[in-house]
Amino acid sequence: MLYREALNLALDHAMEHDPRVVILGEDVGFYGGNYKVTEGLYVKYGPKRVIDTPIAENSIVGTAIGMAMMGLRPVAEIMTANFAMLAMDQIVNQMAKLRYMSGGKVFLPMVVRMPQGVAKQLAAQHSQSLEHMFASVPGLYVFCASDSISAYHGLLYAIRLDDPVIFLEHVLLYSMDFPFQKVENFDPFKARVLKEGKDITVVSYLKMVHDVLKACEWLEKEGISCEVIDLVSLRPIDFETIYHSVKKTKRLVVVYEAPKTCGFGAEISARVSEELFYFLDAPPLRIAGEEVPIPYNRKLELMAIPTPEKIYQQILSWGKRHGL
């Protein structure tokens, strides 16, 4: 099942069973969504529950907050995470804070969905990975989905939660086809071990997970066995699963598309170093984006982010330096 079809299925299922669920965003209704995630829902549930909005990101999230305060369960779509920067007041100052500031009196059962990451030559204002900006804010849950199973179940879980959730998707995943099956008791707070291994723990999420899996296939041929962990929640992070794996492998690599500085690699490797310093056989390795805005030119664009080849090479040379 295509990733976007899995998201659509989750939205359809939620709307069918709970009349409080509404969708709002730019082009989500009549047009069917710019990435076709909401396709068909406008016809099925009508314009009152699948709401086309003006290009006003701050008030898309703001009105969703008002709806949630009254007991609806809005799912707001922001066309891309880049545009969510216009909604940072509502996301950071409002959505994340209202429950705490009200001493627990205000409930915000709402989801803000958005894709992020490098697609193909969309240039600097359409290509960012900004998960660390949301994940640094207490009061938000930040989920992300790397395949159709986590897309379907993660989104459904987010809609069921009485707390606000930022739900991150990746632009390149929408048209990717993944095996799909419904899973009993899917828990987004539990990271998924996609592949077991004994030499290195590689932590990643969203689209990079697939680049990591490819690189790890090649590394296996070099005799390096990788355990691959896919984070489904970026706030909170399931450190237990990471620690459990690193205790076994004694080596940590974190792969992500955002620029290296102040990203998830910093957080995860710092925590692992704090907790498991004497277990480690090598300093943690971060493989991440370059410290540049994403360029338009395809060659430069690919230079700016990790690729399976780069992941393979960097892990190989780092491994060699540290006794693998």
Partner 1 sequence: MSQTLAEKFYYLMKLGREFEIRCKEEYLKGNISGFLHLAIGEEAVHVGAVVGFGKGDLFCPYREHVLALARGMDPRLIMAELFGKATGVSKGKGGSMHLYEPKLDFFGGNAIVAAHLPHAVGAAYARKLMGEKAGVLCIFGDGATNNGTFFEALNMASLWEVPVLFLCENNQYAIGTHISKSSYLKDLYLKAKDYMPAVQIDGMDVFEVYKAVVEAKQYIETYGKPYFIEALTYRYEGHSMADKGDYRSPREIEMYKKRDPIDLLLQKSFKEGWLTEEQVKLIDQKVEAIVEEAVAFALASAEPSEEELYTDVYCGVCSDVIP
Nearest approach, Cβ of residue 166 and partner 1 (Å): 13
Integer Cα distance of 157 and 239 in angstroms: 20
Q: Which stretch binds partner 1 (CB under 8 A): 36-44, 88-96, 168-176, 311-319?
A: 88-96
- Near partner 1 by CB under 8 A, which window of 62-70, 195-203, 246-254, 275-283? 62-70
Q: How far is the CB of 7 from partner 1 (least distance, A)?
A: 15
CB-CB contact of 226 with 220 (8 Å): yes
CB of 300 to partner 1, least distance (A): 34
98 binds partner 1 (CB under 8 A): yes
Tell me whether residue 32 or residue 74 sits nearer to partner 1 (CB atom). Answer: 74
Of 66, 120, 217, 262, the residue at the interface with partner 1 (CB under 8 A) is 66
> Does 13 sit near partner 1 (CB under 8 A)?
yes
Residues numbered 142 to 181 that lie near partner 1 (CB under 8 A) are: 156-157, 159-163
Q: Given the complex with partner 1, which of 93 and 175 has the nearer CB atom?
A: 93
Tokens 């989920």 map to which residue? 143
Residue 99 as a binder of partner 1 (CB under 8 A): the answer is yes
Distance (Å) of CA 185 to CA 30, 60, 182, 190, 242: 34, 31, 10, 11, 21
25, 32, 33, 62: residue in contact with partner 1 (rule CB under 8 A): 62
The sheet carrying 252-259 orders its strands as 192-195, 226-230, 200-204, 252-259, 285-289
Stretch that binds partner 1, among 33-41, 55-63, 206-214, 257-265 (CB under 8 A): 55-63
Distance, in Å, from the CA atom of 88 to the CA atom of 66, rounded to the nearest integer, reads 16
- The whole-angstrom separation of Cα 232 and Cα 158 is 11
CB of 281 closer than 8 Å to CB of 251: yes
Q: Which residues are catalytic?
A: 57, 126
Cβ at position 79, least distance to partner 1 in Å: 16
Stretch that binds partner 1, among 37-45, 65-73, 112-120, 256-264 (CB under 8 A): 65-73
What secondary structure does DSSP assign to 175-234, as a single string? T-B------TT--TTS-EEEE--SSEEEEE-TTHHHHHHHHHHHHHHTT--EEEEE-SEE
Exposed, middle or buried, 103 (CB in 10 Å: 0-12/13-18/19+)? Answer: exposed
Distance CA 280, CA 247 (A): 8
Residue 102 binds partner 1 (CB under 8 A): yes
d(CA 24, CA 228): 35
Nearer residue to partner 1 within complex by CB, 71 or 223: 71
For residue 50, which of 17, 74, 81 has the smallest C-alpha distance? 74
Choose which of 67, 144, 145, 216 interacts with partner 1 (CB under 8 A): 67
Question: Per-residue x/- marks for partner 1, 119-138, CB under 8 A?
Answer: -------------------x
Q: By CB under 8 A, is residue 29 in contact with partner 1?
A: no
Residue 253's nearest CA partner among 308, 321, 199, 200 is: 200
Binding residue (CB under 8 A) for partner 1 from 9, 14, 171, 287: 14
Q: Which is nearer to partner 1, 89 or 177 (CB)?
A: 89
Token representation of residue 295: 């360029």
Question: Which tokens sit at 134?
Answer: 């949301």
By the criterion CB under 8 A, which residues form the site for partner 1?
A: 13-14, 17-18, 20-22, 48-49, 51, 53-54, 56, 58-59, 61-74, 89-90, 93-94, 98-107, 109, 138-139, 141, 156-157, 159-163
